[in-house]
Chains A and B, each alone.
Chain A
Amino acid sequence: DAMVIQNPRYQVTQFGKPVTLSCSQTLNHNVMYWYQQKSSQAPKLLFHYYDKDFNNEADTPDNFQSRRPNTSFCFLDIRSPGLGDAAMYLCATSRDYSGGVRTFGSGTRLTVV
């Protein structure tokens, strides 16, 4: 089945230690998104790619970076995780921008200790 796969499902990292979360898709969608979702809140968009064109949300901290080496893969790098970065990180894809249906992965639950 075509899908969005996130690895790992659970990630524990130390305060200040860089961590990378990964996302892959078999849908061949042009757009890939990263969202942060804290407990009992709606997902918050961090950034997105249209193909290799990177788009950062204005309020996304500099601590968060992303890479998209090819159509299928996208990575979220957190350079120096703080306790406030503990959250569920969701990857999503859509075919394009115009009212595109977004397909979400199962998420990576990040714990910072």
Chain B
Amino acid sequence: GENVEQHPSTLSVQEGDSAVIKCTYSDSASNYFPWYKQELGKGPQLIIDIRSNVGEKKDQRIAVTLNKTAKHFSLHITETQPEDSAVYFCAASIAEKLVFGKGTKLTVNP
């Protein structure tokens, strides 16, 4: 089955810096790659996603890149703000299966 590795597990940056979180997946048939942000005590919230026919997608300060050949995808957050502090999960999906990475705890220091 699909396996998703996510790195780093924790990331601390200064406000205004960029943050990058990387994920690799094992099943080349995976075709949908969402990123979720989860704040303490809340459910995961979809922040950006990318499908396998696209290499890059951007939404304001957030971007995701996908390299199908290498089977890895990354989340890029620019100009980080304290409210970006949360746990971020990547995931890879085939049909009804959505496999999550183990999460990255991002801390943005003012």
Q: Which chain A residues have a beta carbon within 8 Å of chain B's beta carbons? A: 4, 6, 31, 40-43, 45, 48, 50, 55, 90, 92, 97-107, 109
Contacts and interface: CB of A to CB of B under 8 A. Distances in A.
Contacts, number: 49
Given A42-B100, A42-B101, A97-B96, A103 B46 contact: yes
B102 interface: yes
Given A43-B44, A97-B95, 17 more contacts: A41-B103, A42-B100, A43-B89, A43-B100, A45-B98, A90-B44, A97-B96, A98-B95, A99-B31, A99-B51, A99-B95, A101-B34, A102-B46, A103-B46, A105-B43, A107-B41, A107-B42
B49 interface: yes
Interface residues of B, number: 21
B93 interface: yes
A42 B45 contact: no
Contact of B98 (A4, A102, A105, A106): A102
